[in-house]
Amino acid sequence: MSKTLLEIEDLYARVGEKEIIKGFNLTINEGEVHAIMGPNGAGKSTLSYVLAGKPGYEVTSGSIKFKGKNLLAMSTEERAREGVFLCMQYPVEIPGVPSSTFMKHSVNAIRKHQNLPELDTMEFIKILREEGRKLGLDNEMIKRPVNVGFSGGEKKRLETLQMAILKPALSILDEADSGLDIDALKVVAEGVNALRDGKRSFLVITHYQRLLNYIVPDYVHVFADGHIVKSGDKNLALELEEKGYAEFVREK
Amino acid sequence: MAGLVQNIDLALPDLPILRYWRNRGLKAFEAQGVPTAKTEAWRYTKPRDLNSDDFILSVTLPIITKSEQTQKIPFACYPIIFENGILYSKISEMPSGLCIMPLIDALFMDIETQEQMGIHLDVENYPFAALNTYYLNQGVYIYVDSNVELERPIVLINHSSVGPENLFFNIHNLIVLKKGAKAEFVEYYNYSGAVKSRYFANIVNEIFIEKDAELNHYKVQNEAFKANHVALNMVSVKEGGNYNGFCLQKGANIGRNETKVLLKEKNASARVDAAYIMNGWATLDTTTDIEHLAEETCSEQLVKGVIGGDARGVFQGKIHIAPKAVKTSGKQLHKALLLSDGAEIDVKPELEIFADDVKCSHGAASGELDEEQLFYMQSRGIDREEARQLLIDAYLDEVISRLQNDEISEWIRSLIKENQSIIG
Ligand SMILES: Nc1ncnc2c1ncn2[C@@H]1O[C@H](COP(=O)(O)OP(=O)(O)OP(=O)(O)O)[C@@H](O)[C@H]1O
Ligand SMILES: [Mg+2]
């Protein structure tokens, strides 16, 4: 029996005045890949921000446990250090901060939390270059300010690079496939698959079944109107591709 | 104890040139007085503390070791060390083509220096420069001969070792780069001791850049947090010459760095950049006045500040383009990051354009730290304070990365980080 990594129970959350997550339940065990699919505006990104602890996303009831601890009591950075990684739908640009500097701070913050010595610059650059090469990000790109002037696909590669280096216990990918050409899609998927070791878990939010050909999920959930309305295996994704969400949206 | 004008013994009281400047300075200061809210050039920066009558003129050299000061500079240089405004020593080794000596010695010995002294210094319009020349005594004369390119930067350090009393000192430097000369000049003002001292450092630099010469001028103002630091840089640039100025201010209660550049001949150019970072109650003032007096002259200014607490940033930038200064370009941009509700900036750009066919632009922007950026960094494990620090450093780095000398820019980056507790 594998251990439970994430346990979300009867979660309600709002953004501003608007209730968006309504009675959401989900349990992810170590090593599992869960896919969430659902119509625009259902609350998928909202869920991912609630998991990451973004200010302004207020949980009104319910609980989230991560490795048995109360995730909701942790700050954003504590969650990241515990192993929650959010690969964002719209990665943020940070002018003036080189990607490599940013990633070094990030890696060392997490290493410090794990009582590991900080990596020195040389060691770090070596790792960064190696992993970057696998993802088709050259040294010059890695020196550029975080996401500034990156194309949509390059931004997603940089997110994947961070995931590859930080090796989080739980990676939440919010539309990692949006705006990617087929080659970039494969690169991102390979990045994810390289991390799959039977212990790390993934929550993959996507609109397209295609991504799930490359990152094969153990479970697929349909998310509509703030909660999961149907769960199944990978075949559910194929079904959705064919029929759309009409059935679930009507329910509401 | 007394106010800013005191009667003290100065060297060579009978030397006519010194007598002339000291008298003229006194008259000009008495006519202007300490600026008030009504003084246009000082509208936003109010040096009220300078009206106190408890200043002690710094006249004797405290016991210091020169090496202690030079150790603060992490690169090879030609050091000039001042302690409380008093010259400790001349530089020991000087390459040929470089001459550094006390300014009053140069004035005593050399007619040419006497003639050059103060040509552009209309002390009648600069109250503190007037006060400075009244006390004309301390400061150096730096001369770089034609076509000499210095291997190392000249570094002037003034260290204030402050006790309970409020010291007052004046430094007046005269810097001449002859035709085709190239030099770097660094000024570093720092302190130790009683942090609450309201001492007053009053600095004047007269800089003469001759044909095709180039000066890179870097300054760091890191005075004690109740101190006053007022500086005037009066720069003239001849044909094809270039002045590259940069000033970081991160100390003092009232800190003002004012730079006037006269682009006197064709193809003269200047860059006058600055960065400042402050919280508490301080006012940090960057004032520039660029006069394009000839055709095809070019100037550029980037000033960026980070302000927290109840501090205030002031930028007054004037670009004047004379009627015959056609085909010139003048660019100016001020940006500030406000970290708290009490932080304030005052910006006064002024363009005076009397010529045709010129390219001029000015702009100002201010903003706060971006919450989306902070969240993104925190979501990667970086704690909020560290994330803020990274964003602040990045903000100022846009200016620092323009500096020409990597060793100096690294040093300045490290000084920005040193003892920084800007919480907003
Ligand atoms: N800051 C906000 N203030 C008010 N409403 C918001 C805010 N952020 C999101 N919403 C609303 O919450 C709902 C859910 O948005 P969310 O971005 O989570 O949807 P999504 O499922 O990720 O959609 P998509 O598939 O288009 O990415 C939407 O109706 C959206 O308009
Ligand atoms: Mg979304």
A227-238 confidence digits (pLDDT tens): 999 999 999 999
**Does residue A15 line the site of ligand 1, with CB under 6 A?**
yes
pLDDT surpassing 60 at residue A124: yes
B394 part of a folded domain: no
The answer to which of A128-132, A133-137, A213-217, B74-78 has the lowest mean pLDDT is A133-137
CB within 8 Å: A80 and B378: yes
- What pLDDT, on the 0 to 100 scale, is given for residue B421? 60
Residue at B144 is within a domain: yes
Closest by CA to B77, choosing from B158, B179, B157, is: B157
Closest CA to A219 of A198, A203, A200: A203
Question: Which of A76, A103, A110 is opposite residue B375, by nearest beta carbon?
Answer: A76
Model pLDDT for residues A60-82, shown as the tens digit of each residue: 999 999 999 999 999 999 999 99
Measured in Å, residue A92 CA sits from the centre of ligand 2 at 15
Q: What is the fold of A4-250?
A: Rossmann fold (3.40.50)
Query: Which pLDDT score, from 0 to 100, does residue A252 have?
Result: 44
Q: Which residues of A touch B393 (CB under 8 A)?
A: 96
pLDDT in tens, A209-219: 899 999 999 99
The model's confidence at residue A1, banded by pLDDT at 50, 70 and 90, is low
Indicate whether B208 belongs to any domain: yes
- From the CA of A15, how far away is ligand 1's center (Å)? 9
Q: Is residue B217 part of a domain?
A: yes
d(CA B290, CA B231): 16
**B380 → closest Cβ in A54, A95, A106:** A106
Question: What is the Cα–Cα distance from A53 to A67, expressed in whole angstroms?
Answer: 16
Q: Is the CB of residue B12 less than 8 Å from the CB of residue B19? A: no
| Number of compact structural domains in chain B | 1
| Closest alpha carbon to B70 in B10, B152, B134, B5 | B152
Partners of residue B373 in chain A, C-beta under 8 Å: 92, 94
Distance CA A148, CA A159 (A): 13
Residue nearest atom 16 of ligand 1, based on CA coordinates: A43
pLDDT tens, A102-111? 999 999 999 9
- Domain that residue B306 falls in: 16-369
Buried b (16+ CB within 10 A) or exposed e, B334-371: bbbbbbbeebbbebbbeeebebeebebebebebeebee
Separation between Cα atoms, residue A245 and residue B63, nearest integer Å: 83
Locate the chain B residue with the closest alpha carbon to A89. B376
Convert A185-233 into a string of H (helix), E (strand) and C (coil): HHHHHHHHHHHCCCCCEEEEECCCHHHHHHCCCCEEEEEECCEEEEEEC
Q: Is A76 on the interface with B (CB under 8 A)?
A: yes
- Residues B378, A76: C-beta atoms closer than 8 Å: yes
Low-confidence stretches of chain B (pLDDT < 70) are 1, 62-67, 89-92, 420-424
Tokens at B214, concatenated: 């180039």
Residue A244 pLDDT grade (very low, low, confident, very high; cuts 50, 70, 90)? confident
**What is the DSSP secondary structure assignment for residue B210, as one 8-state letter?**
-
Q: Does A55 touch chain B (CB under 8 A)?
A: yes
Backbone angles phi, psi at B105, to 5 degrees: -65, -45
Measured between CA atoms, the residue of chain A closest to residue B382 is A106
Q: Give nearest CA residue, ligand 1 atom 28.
A: A41
The SS3 of residue B373 is helix
Q: Whose CA is nearest to atom 6 of ligand 1?
A: A15
Classify residue B415: in a domain, yes or no: no
Interface ipTM: 0.96
Residue B401's CB is within 10 A of a number of other CB atoms, namely 12
Whether A162 sits inside 8 A of B380 (CB atoms) is yes
Residues on B contacting A at a C-beta cutoff of 8 Å: 371-373, 375-384, 386, 390-391, 393-395, 397-398
Half-sphere exposure of A28 (CA within 13 A, CB side): 31
pLDDT at A218: 96
In one-letter notation, the amino acid at residue B211 is: K
